[in-house]
Chains A and B, each alone.
Chain A
């Protein structure tokens, strides 16, 4: 297991995002679970006034027929009005792009945003859909058998680990 310094990568992400959203009244929306932790940190560090929106994309995934429903679905919740809003979608690891597609589809069922930017901690390449991030913490290359996993300890510190993917 190789460890990346998640906190350092986060600081890069936050800095880049701060520059990107200067003068904008953004709303942060995190994708469960890692994206939500990041969005909460970014809300603090970038002094975003609005509550963080939470998306559980279980109902929008494109693999329902093959894999069935996520055994632990959590409720999505977006307290603000999506209609006409300026949204930064936050996720931990960008890989094939399918999660982001599902998240956007779900977001559009809440309303029509004026703009969506994508902020990810790690971009590991391997895109299967035409999805591109607006800001990235770090780009890395890992083989398909490796999973990149974000975790958070009891003190709130973020950790990134690379794990051998177990057969699904």
Chain B
């Protein structure tokens, strides 16, 4: 393996977080620092003036090659609350196909004094390509690449669990749904194992489970009842429309019968178990509305936490010293 593709490109030579590309390979101390820093930003959101001057004068460019209003909006809010200048570029794949390559786009934007790129792309690995290419002072934050990673979602999910459960070292966490195609699932798995969660479970039909889960430290279940029995945390994943017909799954109805989280099934988990979902939810497909809106659901707080966590990520990345 070539040396520079083996070294974790997220950390600078001092071991500080320079880019956030994936939770895999992040030292536990950095993950914990991000969560602790997010605590500071939660309180900022509760004030009259919801800004702090940390990133004043910095330019943050949201580069979304894949559509997503919610993630882009939360990043925009996070960057603005840090007093950064925010620019949104919705580059659909067709306009890139018109000629300008991904790296040409990056070069043009860097020439416009971009300090940070928040990137979402349909191809796994795209943020790594960008991170290798940008000038040393520019930071790249992965807002989701293909099926590979969605690190800020993983971090905000951990923040949520920490908020309600405090101690990671005794938890059983079940992730339910289309793990195969889910970057959220992969990031959650890496975050949970990094933080020392002893039992991480993946639950889904065989057609939606990737290879190698055991080697990532995960116990695999194909039955929801067994998978969530005794769980402290249940993370429900969104089932995408295109999976619901065809060879992976026959229908949304059959999926809900077998893997939908209903109030009855929720009783199999611990009585104080929390239910999470990265959103947007498909009510009646992966989750029953009574659960989504019920007392154990923390789905709305996840959104608030998401802004604080993203503020923490942007500040910490922006604060790394330049590589000598």
Question: A residues near B, CB below 8 A?
Answer: 56, 58-60, 64, 68-69, 71-77, 83, 105-106, 108-111
A-B contact pairs, 7 of them (CB 8 A): A56-B40, A60-B52, A69-B54, A72-B33, A74-B39, A76-B44, A109-B51
**Is B98 at the interface (CB under 8 A from chain A)?**
no
**Is B69 at the interface (CB under 8 A from chain A)?**
no
With a cutoff of 8 Å between Cβ atoms, the chain B residues found around residue A108 in the complex are 49
With a cutoff of 8 Å between Cβ atoms, the chain A residues found around residue B315 in the complex are 59, 69
| Interface flags, B313-324, vs A, CB<8A=1, else 0 | 001101111000
Known: A58-B40, A69-B315, A76-B43. A110 touches B53 (CB 8 A): no
| Interface flags, B26-65, vs A, CB<8A=1, else 0 | 0000000100110110111001110111100000000000
Say which residue of B49, B320, B321 sits within 8 Å of A109 (CB atoms).
B49
With a cutoff of 8 Å between Cβ atoms, the chain A residues found around residue B319 in the complex are 64, 68-69
Known: A58-B40, A73-B40, A74-B40. A110 touches B320 (CB 8 A): no
Known: A68-B321, A110-B47. A75 touches B39 (CB 8 A): yes
With a cutoff of 8 Å between Cβ atoms, the chain B residues found around residue A74 in the complex are 36, 39-40
| Contact across chains for A59 and B54 when beta carbons are under 8 A apart | yes
| Contact across chains for B51 and A73 when beta carbons are under 8 A apart | no
| Contact across chains for B49 and A75 when beta carbons are under 8 A apart | no
Q: Measured between alpha carbons, how far is A71 from B54 in the docked complex, in Å?
A: 14
| Contact across chains for A77 and B43 when beta carbons are under 8 A apart | yes
Known: A68-B320, A110-B47. A59 touches B42 (CB 8 A): no
Q: Measured between alpha carbons, how far is A48 from B43 in the docked complex, in Å?
A: 24
With a cutoff of 8 Å between Cβ atoms, the chain B residues found around residue A106 in the complex are 52
* A36–chain B nearest beta-carbon distance, Å: 15
* B13–chain A nearest beta-carbon distance, Å: 14
Q: Measured between alpha carbons, how far is A59 from B37 in the docked complex, in Å?
A: 10
Q: Measured between alpha carbons, how far is A72 from B312 in the docked complex, in Å?
A: 12
With a cutoff of 8 Å between Cβ atoms, the chain A residues found around residue B47 in the complex are 109-110
Known: A64-B319, A69-B54, A69-B316. A110 touches B49 (CB 8 A): yes
Residue count of chain B within 8 Å CB distance of chain A: 22
Q: Measured between alpha carbons, how far is A110 from B50 in the docked complex, in Å?
A: 9
| Contact across chains for B53 and A60 when beta carbons are under 8 A apart | yes
| Interface flags, B72-85, vs A, CB<8A=1, else 0 | 00000000000000
* A143–chain B nearest beta-carbon distance, Å: 28
Which 3 interchain pairs have the tightest Cβ spacing?
A68-B319, A59-B52, A109-B49
Known: A74-B40, A75-B39. A64 touches B54 (CB 8 A): yes
Q: Measured between alpha carbons, how far is A34 from B49 in the docked complex, in Å?
A: 26
Q: Measured between alpha carbons, how far is A68 from B54 in the docked complex, in Å?
A: 10
With a cutoff of 8 Å between Cβ atoms, the chain A residues found around residue B40 in the complex are 56, 58-59, 73-76
Q: Measured between alpha carbons, how far is A30 from B100 in the docked complex, in Å?
A: 54
* A37–chain B nearest beta-carbon distance, Å: 20
Instruction: Specify the chain B residue showing the minimal Cβ separation from A66.
Output: B321
With a cutoff of 8 Å between Cβ atoms, the chain B residues found around residue A58 in the complex are 40
With a cutoff of 8 Å between Cβ atoms, the chain A residues found around residue B51 in the complex are 109
* B49–chain A nearest beta-carbon distance, Å: 4
Q: Measured between alpha carbons, how far is A69 from B43 in the docked complex, in Å?
A: 17
Q: Measured between alpha carbons, how far is A105 from B36 in the docked complex, in Å?
A: 22
With a cutoff of 8 Å between Cβ atoms, the chain A residues found around residue B39 in the complex are 73-75
Q: Measured between alpha carbons, how far is A58 from B51 in the docked complex, in Å?
A: 13
With a cutoff of 8 Å between Cβ atoms, the chain B residues found around residue A56 in the complex are 40
Q: Measured between alpha carbons, how far is A20 from B33 in the docked complex, in Å?
A: 41
* A73–chain B nearest beta-carbon distance, Å: 4
| Contact across chains for B44 and A59 when beta carbons are under 8 A apart | yes
With a cutoff of 8 Å between Cβ atoms, the chain A residues found around residue B320 in the complex are 68
With a cutoff of 8 Å between Cβ atoms, the chain B residues found around residue A111 in the complex are 48
Instruction: Specify the chain A residue showing the minimal Cβ separation from B42.
Output: A75
* A75–chain B nearest beta-carbon distance, Å: 5
Known pairs A59-B54, A68-B16. 4 more at Cβ < 8 A? A69-B318, A72-B36, A73-B40, A109-B51
| Contact across chains for A73 and B37 when beta carbons are under 8 A apart | yes
| Contact across chains for A69 and B37 when beta carbons are under 8 A apart | yes
